[in-house]
Amino acid sequence: MSKIAKSKIAAGIYWLEVPEAELFVLCGCPADSVKHLMKAGKISNIEEEIDFSKSGSDQTQHTHGTVTNETGPNAILLSDLSVQNGDIANLAEFPVLQMLYRQGMLLPNHPNNTGAKPLLIGHKNMVSAQMNYIHRGNYGLTSLEEILEAGITRVQAEEMMRIKLFFAFGEIHPSSDLLEARIVDQKPVEILNGVWVVRKNINCYEFLYQDERVEVDLNLGKNESYETPYKLENHHFKREYFSIVHTGEGDGWDINRPCMASVLSFQGKIFLIDVGPNIAYTLNAIGVDTNEVEGIFHTHAHDDHFAGLASLIRTNHRIKYYSTPLVRASVSKKLCSLLSIKENTFKDYFEVCDLEFDKWNNINGLEVQPVFSPHPVETNILFFRTLWENGYSTYAHLADVASHDVLKKMVEEDKKMPGISKKLMKKVWGDYLSPVQVKKIDIGGGIIHGKAKDFKADKSEKIILAHTAHKLTQDEKIIGCGVTFGSTDMLIEGHEDYALEFGGDYLRGYYPKVEDSEIHLLLNCERESVSVGTILLRDQEIPEYVCLVLTGVAELLSTKEKTSYQLSSGSLIGDLAVLFGLKSKGTYRALSYIETLKIPAVLFKEFVNRNQLMKQLQKTQETIEFLEQTWLFGESISSPIQSRIAQSITAKKYKKGEKIECTGLMLVKKGKVELTSRKSGKQERQLMVKEGDFWGGEKMISNENISVNARANTSTTIYNITDIEILQQIPIVRWKMLEQTEKRE
């Protein structure tokens, strides 16, 4: 019988166990890996006896009882790559929390608290990054100075620090006090009780125990992505003047639902309230593309509200980031620790829009008031309002609030002790109970979450109970209600045609010099709502219409590349094929519920000719078609932006063996290029770059000194983008360059 057992849990996640050595390893820890383990039965509840000992003056008294706790891993093997196929590969916060608290490894008097620490196994850089990120996830800002730097007054900062120390049991510990590192490189390293591991290649590890060996490969395939542990029904979300779509009512342990979150629609624009794991999947399920997101309102930096930030980077514009400077400081430090990038780069991926505490901040008619909420990390709950015929329409989002019992226990007037002043405690509680039309509250319980019973006296018209994995009790149902995924509270109905307005903006982006009357000619064409999976244009088909994607997400299935690329809202499908009499070079289909504008081929040709656009389109047609098929530019970049990129490209041909000067970003149109690169303090590396791949532009993501020599390996055509500023404004390009750089190191 084998002493080492390995089983695949989900894409990029494996379970490896050596029971004889008491080692249980979660191999790979992308978002929701704990939920995947729960679904696979690797985490389950057990009862254990516990000895509560009390020491008296002359004897020790023993009382026995049972405690229910979970089984699970005691070690985590990290991916060598922080990003794989666009998603963050290492999110160890919740697996570590599961070990420390739900298994009991950190709980006083617990039978599993033996002094052993959870093990983090992997490359030095990844282990270090995870240690820093988990530290920020535990504590947020870790000193009075960091809180002061966020613009908080000294008196407020000192009290916030007292609150933080209350949740931290009086002291902020380094991650090394809670976790034990096992750094692995080319030489075997002992993990535990005679089990060894060696790194064979990037993301490939071999475990050894006695005379047995088992390999674990954490690399994702080209078309593979990390999976969600739950399935969501598809919904067609109508953009309203002011509405709330409920997209998450669970918590970090709920295997059937997304974590607590909402989508807010205001004047047809899409705003997210918190951004948990699998946010792109969540948005697609309600027919929203990430490129449609105008902004995110953020409460705090715990992973169940934070882990989806990477998906918001995968867009063709910087999404607006709304929170207080206090929360933003905590979030940016955690995200940058996770990705091992400099803190000042947060603004390269998001458009920072700071909010003031306890004031109504006006965002083009939508007003939001952030309110401080006691929590282990910096947290603001959020109140929203907008003016309407009978006064204000209002919504409140109370994520990760403290229960009244916990707040009362926290009261401590001695300013040298952990706790909260009675004055602040009363203010916090008054804020929690402020009446609104619709209020979503956290009822997760325990020391850092709320309880439904505390809101019995709340005068809000509708209370939604969220942030829990349990079914609502009878008592809870009397206080509030649960909601199903995709349900909507419409606070103010929209009477404008927002989708058509977006269509006008997209067309003006394509054709900026065309008169508005000509744009309206196209906008008057037939509209069509399309369900998930519907084919919009088949491979090798000559289209009869040009389709403009107004809302939702489409997909291009490339026959040549044998892969797929997401197409964002604003994409034109079939335009070049119509104009130049070409057959489609792939199959286009709806990836979510989408709405399209169907422009007849005859009308579109006439529009292009009468506005003298053909010459410009002929110039960029081949380049745009090529960009659509590349990994770097094909996904989530709308057609107007691809057109801008195409217009900035110059092409040059090279003979075999000819040296290629690197100026900006270099994209291989045809042929192969041999690269020799050297980074400061590292060995020289050689790499072959093939058609559709790229190099250069490293200064966009790194200040390190990297020298690159390039030589044509065959007869080669290179597309060169020297205007790096265009690319710097596209977060997904930065993100993919970061991912590619990691793979090549």
Span 678-730, pLDDT tens digits: 765 566 778 899 998 998 876 666 656 667 889 999 999 999 988 777 888 88
Residues 18 and 195 sit within 8 Å (Cβ to Cβ): yes
Q: Model confidence over 514-523: pLDDT tens digits?
A: 999 999 999 9
Compute the average pLDDT of residues 437-445: 97
Q: What is the pLDDT of residue 60?
A: 46
Residues 574, 538 within the same domain: yes
Residues 659, 623 within the same domain: no
Q: Model confidence over 255-272: pLDDT tens digits?
A: 999 999 999 999 999 999
Angle (deg, nearest 10), helices 639-647 and 498-510: 10
Q: Is residue 583 part of a domain?
A: yes
- Which 3 state secondary structure label does DSSP give 119? strand
- Which pTM was predicted? 0.91
Alpha helices in 540-585 (DSSP H): 575-580
Write the burial class of residue 64 (CB in 10 Å: 0-12 exposed, 13-18 middle, 19+ buried). Answer: exposed
If you search the block for the tokens 């926290």, which residue do you land on?
Answer: 410
Residues 534, 401 within the same domain: no
**Residue 731 amino acid letter:** P
- Which 3 state secondary structure label does DSSP give 649? strand
Q: Is residue 171 part of a domain?
A: no
Residues 625, 702 within the same domain: no
pLDDT above 90 as % of the chain? 74
Q: What is the pLDDT of residue 55?
A: 41
Residues 564, 624 within the same domain: yes
Q: What is the pLDDT of residue 57?
A: 40
Compute the average pLDDT of residues 722-743: 81
Q: Is residue 21 part of a domain?
A: yes
Q: Is residue 224 part of a domain?
A: no
**3-state helix vs strand vs coil in the chain, percent to 5:** 30, 30, 40
Q: What is the pLDDT of residue 564?
A: 79
Residues 294, 357 within the same domain: yes
CA distance 276 to 548: 30
Q: Domain residues for 588?
A: 499-629
Residues 624, 656 within the same domain: no
Using the 3D structure, point to which of 582, 599, 629 is the last residue of a domain: 629
Q: Looking at residue 221, what DSSP letter applies?
A: P
Q: What is the pLDDT of residue 681?
A: 55
Residues 377, 426 within the same domain: yes
Residues 333, 388 within the same domain: yes
Whichever domain contains 366, its CATH number is 3.60.15.10
The residues, ordered by sequence, that sit 6+ positions from 119 with a Cβ below 8 Å of its Cβ are 74, 75, 76, 179, 180, 181, 182, 191, 192
Compute the average pLDDT of residues 53-78: 69
Residues 265, 284 within the same domain: yes
Q: Is residue 137 part of a domain?
A: no
pLDDT above 70 as % of the chain? 95
Whichever domain contains 725, its CATH number is 2.60.120.10
Task: Count helices and strands (H / E) in the chain.
Answer: 22, 43
Overall number of domains in the chain: 4
Using the 3D structure, point to which of 492, 513, 534 is the last residue of a domain: 492
Q: Which two tokens stand for residue 706?
A: 């990297």
- Ranking 405-414, 440-449, 564-573 by mean pLDDT, the lowest is 564-573
Phi, psi of 128 (to 5 degrees): -65, -45
Residues 360, 435 within the same domain: yes
Using the 3D structure, point to which of 629, 659, 690 is the last residue of a domain: 629
Residues 677, 699 within the same domain: yes
Q: Is residue 10 part of a domain?
A: yes
Q: Is residue 724 part of a domain?
A: yes
Q: Is residue 61 part of a domain?
A: yes
